[in-house]
Amino acid sequence: MDAIVPAWKPVDWTSFDVVKKMKSYVKPSKVGHAGTLDPFAEGILILCIGKKTSEVESLMELRKTYVATIRLGITTDTLDPTGEFSNEQPVPELSRALIEQKLSDFIGEIDQTPPMYSALKKNGVPLYKLARKGLTVPRRARKVRVYAIELLNFTKSELEIRVECGRGTYIRVLGSDIAAALGTIGYLIKLTRTRIGNYTADNAVRVQDFSKWLFTAA
């Protein structure tokens, strides 16, 4: 079978879990995905089956849209809810005008340092494996592109934003950097990838519907 499937990854599933689930239905066809989504996040994960795995690289170049909630005044070592609390700071008085001004500074080509808890490799070893041993290694900042950031909601302790960005953007890092720009610290408590290119929640296939989708696609 050769197909591109916009799957909807559930919270607490790894991207590989979704690939493995699809493999169980289409073996011996190959299955790959076009862009990892963190386990704590949910949303669009593009699966490529059979000969369509050759299109993974081009699909990874598509613009992505996320909705993220940032908790302010506290952070974790992973910059998401799966980590250990590592620091706490007061949150200054915030206004919509101030927040939107700071968000605008992150639009365009920006430098971003990959987090230690990531799948990037140092001498062939994933950084997250080193981080779990308590090790921190230097990481080179790289250029990523943010096309738009919209403030959806905010309270004294949380921001909800919508981000449209290019390949390689770590939303966890963006959330932490936004908190720093606001004079505090922060981490993501929720993340949803709502769009990749023209693939959205409206045309995504839920994991529990894989067999039904395969029946109609056959």
From CA 209, how far away is CA 185, in angstroms rounded?
Answer: 39
* Residue 35 near residue 46 (C-beta atoms within 8 A): yes
What CA dihedral angle connects 50, 1, 214 and 218, to 10 degrees? 160
Contact 205, 5 (CB under 8 A): yes
Q: Shortest CA distance to 120 belongs to which of 68, 170, 61?
A: 170
Query: Cis before residue 28, ω within 30 degrees of 0?
Result: yes
Q: Residue 131 in contact with residue 79, Cβ under 8 Å? A: no
38 is annotated as an active-site residue: yes
Q: Which of 118, 106, 103 is nearest to 168 (CA)?
A: 118
Rounded Cα–Cα distance for residues 157 and 184 (Å)? 10
d(CA 5, CA 188): 27
Given 2, 17, 38, 80, the catalytic residue: 38
What residues act catalytically? 38
